[in-house]
Amino acid sequence: MQTGSLTYMATTAPGLGSIAISEISAKLPGAWIQNQMRGRILFNTDAPWGQIQELKCVDNLYLHIAWLKIGPHRNHLGDLTDDFESISLLDLPFLRRARPGSKVIINASRSGKHTFSRFEAAKAAMKGLAKAYKFTPGTVDDHEFNFRLDIVDQDALFSLKLTDSTFRFRGQRDFSKGALRPPIAHALIWLSNPKPEDTFLDPFCGSGTIVAERSLYTAQSIIGSDLSKNIVAIAKANVPDNVEIVQMDACSLTDIADESINSIVSNPPWGKQVAQGEDIGKLYMQFFQEMNRVLTKGGSAVLLTDRKSAIQAAAESTNLQCQELYTISLHGLLPVVYQIWKT
């Protein structure tokens, strides 16, 4: 679809915004980043829609329609209805099929101090759209247009959802327990700066999300390994032919030669993935020893975990350089993205 210059909103897991901005700038040359706020990035571009969908670090894409102001009290919702009545929609690409009677839904979020709920705000906005366009309220399962209203303090951002779950889940894949959402896996890959000459490994590959995302860029080799036979079978079914999946203990990477891997990206057990009584300090220590052995000099790793002391102790004992880069908000926990180097 040819769209002209438009403003889009991309959403990411909170904490991964700067990685997504780096991807937007690289994949959409000339894109202008207008604003970034907790998990939302507003950017302007004249790139065609097909090219914009090549963004892989983002969960969803929206067409940004309006940036309104809103007061904090319930009696300000009438102003919101008036504002929505005067929003101009029908000239916008993606909305040209809209007609009186179109079924629409508005999902609202709210942060800040207000005396109204997000549902009341969505209702007030819907009232304005019904007056202006004769749109009718749809349901989650039955609607033509899915709008979003994000209220942050005095600001109200209105947008149209352009992607659905098949975008962030890359169509149909089987995910194991503890699997990352593909856009989060992709953000880790993007941070690793993928290059065609890479020899790549994810030694805790689970259902293969990270290696599948890595396979979207050329590499010399891409290997995923996991201790569990069942999980290895799931990973094999999820990845394309250019990815090799093997069953292996990350603490004893027997199939991997010394100094043969220059890039590791992984999501070792953390949070609820850690079994009760499991000695995570020992697991990380032994894995770091193996990582030190298989990494080339100058090779690097990107790891996601909330086990701060285990990772720091393992890095210190192996003399690998370790830097804490981003804290992200995921499943109610705050894991950290680490970058590790072998100097």
Ligand X SMILES: C[S@@+](CC[C@H](N)C(=O)[O-])C[C@H]1O[C@@H](n2cnc3c(N)ncnc32)[C@H](O)[C@@H]1O
Q: Is 305 in the site for ligand X (CB under 6 A)?
A: no
How many residues touch ligand X under the rule CB under 6 A: the total is 21
Rule CB under 6 A: say whether 213 interacts with ligand X: no
| Residue of 200, 151, 206, 141 lying closest to 180 (CA atoms) | 206
- Range in contact with ligand X (rule: CB under 6 A) among 97-105, 125-133, 247-255, 312-320: 247-255
- Is residue 288 part of the contact set for ligand X (CB under 6 A)? no
Q: What is the layout of strands, in order, in the sheet containing 295-305?
A: 244-247, 221-226, 199-202, 261-266, 295-305, 336-341, 321-327
Residue number, 24 or 283, with CB nearest to ligand X: 283
Kindly state the tokens that stand for 252: 């004893």
Decide: is 246 part of the binding site for ligand X (CB under 6 A).
no
User: What single DSSP character describes residue 106?
Assistant: E
Length of the chain: 343
String of DSSP letters for 174-202: ---TTPPPHHHHHHHHHHT---TT-EEEE
Cα distance between residue 68 and residue 78, in whole Å = 13
Residue 215 as a binder of ligand X (CB under 6 A): the answer is no
Among positions 66, 132, 227, 246, the unique one binding ligand X when judged by CB under 6 A:
227
> Cα dihedral angle (220, 216, 43, 81), rounded to 10 degrees?
-160
226 binds ligand X (CB under 6 A): yes
- Which residue from 60, 209, 262, 300 is in contact with ligand X, where contact means CB under 6 A? 209
Based on CB atoms, which residue is closest to ligand X, 86 or 230? 230
* Cβ-contact 106, 148 below 8 angstroms: yes
For residue 273, state whether it binds ligand X (rule: CB under 6 A).
yes
Interface with ligand X includes 210 (CB under 6 A)? yes
Residue 178 touches ligand X, criterion: CB under 6 A: yes
Residue closest to 226 by CA, chosen among 198, 265, 253, 196:
253
Residue from the set 17, 206, 299, 335 that interacts with ligand X by CB under 6 A: 206
Tell whether residue 39 is a contact of ligand X (CB under 6 A). Answer: no
Q: Does 274 bind ligand X (CB under 6 A)?
A: no
Among 192, 267, 300, 318, interactor with ligand X by CB under 6 A: 267
How many C-beta atoms surround the C-beta of residue 316 within 10 A? 11
The verdict on 128 binding ligand X (CB under 6 A) reads no
Nearer to ligand X (CB atom), residue 157 or residue 294: 294
**Residue closer to ligand X, measured from CB, 92 or 227:** 227
Q: Determine, following the binding rule CB under 6 A, whether residue 233 of this chain makes contact with ligand X.
A: no
Reported as half-sphere exposure (CB side, CA atoms, 13 A), residue 258 has a value of: 1
Answer yes or no whether residue 85 interacts with ligand X by CB under 6 A: no
The answer to whether 285 contacts ligand X (rule: CB under 6 A) is: no
36 three-class SS: strand
> How far is Cα 49 from Cα 66, in angstroms, rounded to an integer?
19
Should residue 176 be labelled a site residue for ligand X when binding is judged by CB under 6 A?
A: yes
Binding site residues, ligand X, CB under 6 A = 176, 178-180, 203-204, 206-207, 209-210, 226-228, 231, 249-251, 267, 269, 273, 283
